[in-house]
Structure 1
Amino acid sequence: MLDYTKQQDWPNGFGELQSPIDIKTENLKAVKTQMHYHVLDDYKLHQEVDDGTTIRLRGTGTAEIFGRTFDFVQVHFHSPSEHVVDGKRYPLEIHLVHQNVIGQLCVVALMISEGETRNPKFQQIIDNYEAGVTESIELSIGDWAPWYPVGIHYLGSLTTPPLTEGVEWLVITNPEFTLNAEQVGWFREHFGKDNRDIQPLNGRALQLYR
């Protein structure tokens, strides 16, 4: 099981373009259009896995991301958020992982705030969960992708070993749903803090869409 208290021991031989990062939007020139991310075939989850550090759900679906078609592969969660935006660390960050036909990876990160009501689809994931067990699940999450996504586009890495670089990131700051305190608390109780430390920017270019 991955130990988040000993991140300095994680192997990293892939360079200096690592994720997550601290994003300061005041330093970025905004592109005044929505991010080029559109779900083409609804995201459907079929399998729920307890991997010891998070819940990972495998699924199917497709999306167009900056003019290229990607297959949706899986979704998982980090709490608190891995990315920091304008000094804010969110209660939860959702990673929608995609891969295209030539093997390129793209992660759509949804920065989730806390609200008054519980999210019914996240609650279904909670209710279906059994520790240490892989379960079947049938759940559509296509509506988790906002219809007008805004946020930051950059090139980084996986945030867990092997920390492979060349991963395209879309950090979306306007998801159209929240989780309530009870749901966030449930995740923390079961998995603790599972966010990787902030990594150096090292001169990377970031694009802000809004």
Structure 2
Amino acid sequence: MRKALCVSVALLASGAANAESEAQWGYSGAKGPENWAELSPDNFACAGKNQAPINLTGFIEAELQPITFDYQKGAEQILNNGHTVQVNYEQGSSIDVDGITFDLKQFHFHAPSENHIDGESYPLEAHLVHASDEGDLAVVAVMFEEDTANEGLKKAWTKMPEQAGEERALPSSVRAEDILPENRDHYRFNGSLTTPPCTEGVRWLVMKQPLTASSEQIERFADVLHEPNNRPLQPVNARPVLQ
């Protein structure tokens, strides 16, 4: 598991934007989600029992400790890896969860949302991906409703790469903080990466308060990817969803 986590962190940080990795999996057809586990021995976890995304429901009341955010300016580049549009972040930003510091590696987007909340799907979801020094992973998820334009997205979208494999430098004004809601109350569950190799043991921290994005912002992202990039919902099985 440790080896898989380390490989996952490397892929998440780099964006895995080479042509070979692009060809290994997709969101439809023979290389779609239902076949990920069979596409490579490395993807065995995609058939696991603790996979993400899920429909968050049946909440269990718990005394969840607040997430301590320490986000700085640090966006380096925005890239289109063929599966999403991703903003890579330089060292220096982190969250603290369970007394562990997780460094922010990158954030990326899915349209429509991968996770659902009480059966509701959202037109856009952001995943802020973090890793600890030990290789453990934590993902902060933020939902977007269609309404007024989002200023944080606007700054990043000005450099939106149109073609798979394309990357562009970003101005320092692009900040992860700008795609976080003011209210940091959250749901929590144990899950996995939502893309191959589907590594499990990921702490999922889903913000309760959604943000807004304009229809133009959502459509521009969807148009660049040419198809939905949401993995279907996975069985919750025996996992608790805490709030």
State which of 78, 87, 101 in structure 2 corresponds to 1:69: 101
After TM superposition, give the deviation of residue 4 of structure 1 in Å. 0.7
After TM superposition, give the deviation of residue 62 of structure 1 in Å. 1.3
Structure 2 alignment gaps of length 5 or more? 1-21, 38-42
State which of 28, 38, 41 in structure 1 corresponds to 2:68: 38
Over 6 Å off, 4+ runs:
none
2:228 aligned with 1:196, yes or no?
no
CA contact (8 A) 1:107 1:167 kept: yes
Partner Cα distance (2:190, 2:180) in 1: 20
- How many residues align structurally? 203
State which of 158, 170, 179 in structure 2 corresponds to 1:137: 170
TM-score by length of 2: 0.78
Partner Cα distance (2:161, 2:208) in 1: 30
State which of 202, 221, 226 in structure 2 corresponds to 1:167: 202
State which of 106, 111, 118 in structure 2 corresponds to 1:79: 111
After TM superposition, give the deviation of residue 30 of structure 1 in Å. 2.4
After TM superposition, give the deviation of residue 147 of structure 1 in Å. 4.0
State which of 53, 75, 78 in structure 2 corresponds to 1:20: 53
The one-letter code of the counterpart of 1:181 is: S
State which of 158, 177, 187 in structure 1 corresponds to 2:221: 187
CA contact (8 A) 1:43 1:72 kept: no
Q: CA RMSD in A?
A: 1.7
Query: Against the structure 1 CA distance between its residues 125 and 174, is the aligned structure 2 distance closer, same or farther, given a 3 Å change threshold?
Result: same
What corresponds to 1:94 in structure 2?
126
CA contact (8 A) 1:82 1:197 kept: yes
The one-letter code of the counterpart of 2:158 is: D
What corresponds to 2:78 in structure 1?
48
Q: Secondary structure at the match of 2:216?
A: helix
2:27 aligned with 1:4, yes or no?
yes
After TM superposition, give the deviation of residue 38 of structure 1 in Å. 2.1
In terms of fraction of residues, the more strand-rich structure is 1
Query: Against the structure 1 CA distance between its residues 169 and 43, is the aligned structure 2 distance closer, same or farther, given a 3 Å change threshold?
Result: farther
1:25-64 deviation digits (Å, cap 9, x = unpaired) = xx2232366x521212425211111101210111031111
The one-letter code of the counterpart of 1:7 is: P
CA contact (8 A) 1:80 1:193 kept: yes
Q: Which structure exhibits the higher relative contact order, with contacts defined as CA atoms closer than 8 Å and separated by 6 or more residues?
A: 1
After TM superposition, give the deviation of residue 19 of structure 1 in Å. 0.4
Structure 1 alignment gaps of length 5 or more? none
1:119-155 deviation digits (Å, cap 9, x = unpaired) = 1221222221232311111322224333431231111
Deviates further, 158-167 or 133-142: 133-142
In terms of fraction of residues, the more helix-rich structure is 2
CA contact (8 A) 2:95 2:104 kept: yes
